């Protein structure tokens, strides 16, 4: 299977989003979490640097801090 790409939504300051993988996630069938064109993740808008989940039931959280930036929790 191919990776799944999930884009974070536009946020309001203080918003929290959690992404949790299911049972079928592996190192080759992973989830890539990307930002929208106008937002960054930890100040980075480069898609090659996007966080990914490669473990079954793995999770990652994000906090929108404003100024078009999501931060990894």
CA dist., res. 39 & res. 35, Å (int): 6
**Tens of pLDDT, residues 38-73:** 889 998 877 778 899 999 999 999 999 999 999 999
Whole-model pTM: value is: 0.89
Tally: H helices and E strands in the chain: 0, 7
Instruction: Check residues 30 and 35 and name the one with the higher pLDDT.
Output: 30
**Tens of pLDDT, residues 7-33:** 999 899 999 999 999 999 999 999 999
**For position 43, what pLDDT does the model report?**
87
**For position 46, what pLDDT does the model report?**
75
Q: What's the token pair of residue 22?
A: 């299911």
């Amino acid at each position: 299977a191919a990776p799944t790409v999930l884009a974070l939504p536009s946020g309001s300051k203080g918003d929290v989003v959690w992404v949790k993988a299911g049972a079928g996630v592996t190192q080759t069938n992973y989830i890539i979490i990307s930002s929208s064109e106008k937002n960054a993740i930890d100040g980075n808008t480069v898609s090659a640097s996007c966080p990914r989940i490669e473990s079954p039931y793995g999770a990652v959280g994000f906090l929108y801090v404003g100024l078009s930036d999501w931060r990894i929790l």
